[in-house]
Structure 1
Amino acid sequence: MTMMSPVENFGYQDFLLVEASQEMVLRALAESLADAEPWGGGFDPENHKPSLFFRLLMRIMGMRAADGPWNNPMAGMSPDPDMVGRLDVHMMFTGAEAEGAPLTRDAPPANAGFGGFAADFDDLRISRVTGHADLTVVEMREMASGMSMTAFGVSSVLSGADVLYFRRSGEAAAEKNYDFHLYRDGDVVRRVLCHATWAGGKEDGAWWEGISDGAVTRYEPAGLYVGAGEADLLDNRKIDAILGTLGLTATRLFGPDGREAPVLFAKRAGGAPLPR
């Protein structure tokens, strides 16, 4: 497969590397998408359990769903009929329909957060990493900041698999965001992030938040963070160093020959139902 060269002037790029076969990841993504919160609130009204999003927040705060019991305040209630069926479901596309440039998102206006949803915001492309039989890359546009719902969902389904989440910032990024997280069995095992916020919407008023939670992983080279402060805890160069432990760089991964056999999950007409 021939992919387009990476776009240099992007805002943000989110992707996962999953140590599992593409088929396993496809099925895990399909299951996690089906498990996602079907309508508003913090609980899944059908199964009487905390929603996927709420479970991730609990894990970050050191809680588990088993810490319940969870008395569903929405039990017996029905979703707002005006909200049901308003969004298209994900369909699966392969071949030429699944190819394209790396999935990135435009930079939002300064100090405006991660707003500005596009029609294809929910696209996910799942590809085999060339030369790595059991390493799968998932490209998406993550809505959250400081967490990855996609990685959490996949890791909750794929028992024992390491799910690595990365966020890179390109030349068009207003407020730089860099992330490396490791999820395993629905746990947030490791979270390193370096985020800038433009005070007053001005670059010269930027303040940085650097977070390093959890034990250093085998993917992080020794000395990677030595001497780093909050403003340079993580950047694209250090993300490349982490990718290097897997024999990759971002340029290689998202270059013309870095991925193969792409499958696209997208909310649009056509395609086939997601695997079950």
Structure 2
Amino acid sequence: MLRRIELEVLSTVDRGDTISELAMKLDHSESYLSRAVADLVDKGLVYTERDGRRKRVVPSDARAVELYQDLVRQHSHIEFPELLTGKALEVLYYLDQPRTVAEIADRSNNYRNTVNRVLKRIRDRGLVGTDDGHYDFNADFNRMHEFARELAHHLHRQRLEVVASKGTILWEDYDEFLAQAETEIDAEGFHETGLARFAAFDLQFLLTDHRYYLYSETLDEVSPAELCCHTLLIDNGSRHRSYCLLLLSHVDVDEDDLREQAVKYGLDDEIDALLQYLETHGEIQDGLLPEWSEFQELAADYEVDLPQ
């Protein structure tokens, strides 16, 4: 997410520092510092001002910058740029409560050895401790988690605003986010989801003025299991639940994968209710699911065969 040199610049830069002044403070070449500053400008974490022939670097008012610089000032004896490189910020992102190495590995999709190595490095500096195998922050170092979360959110916002200035983030984790936009997005990493995506599975619904996209650098396309979860994140009302039921009836969706996606998106109860509804032919009711006879009519309208 941020390279060590970028973290060093954010740790050091005062309002109005020039590139040459930063190079002297950090003992790096001006060309190396210039590239790092340019990357930070692209990420909206600093900006530059012309002062004659010189270019002054100014920290942005991003909340992530404020959190990080406060952390550095209050704990000046800790080398945060070294500590937060590699997978560290990703691990800290998911340490929102006491968690085991296995839990963090599952949530971050990293190997346990990787997570363990990061946490050991942080634990050796006294920033986290363990209780019955669960890692948690010591003292006020939970602000490292706040920084990781705020930085990820800021970078997601930056990426979305480039392609949809009025876009809204509906859900996010460290390296993915679900967004609502008023216009079509045709950019690398953005995958259309929501009601428009149902057409890929031969289900055509009346669309709203909004479009929905999952940003992910690793995904090839939105699967039916993911689509079902996205649909509920967009609107958890009865109509969208009925559409999810049609999809689950019409497409062969791996139940284990669906439940795994439900955990990722925090929709365990909702997905469990949908699966039980189909299994029991509508005996499960929560006020947001249709009567079975109504759903049968809906399925017939869309030529979806229901399980007997």
Q: Which has the higher strand share?
A: 1
* TM-score (norm: length of structure 2): 0.26
TM-score normalized with structure 1 length: 0.28
Tell me which of the two structures has the higher relative contact order, counting C-alpha pairs closer than 8 angstroms and 6 or more residues apart: 1
Larger radius of gyration: 2
More helix by share: 2
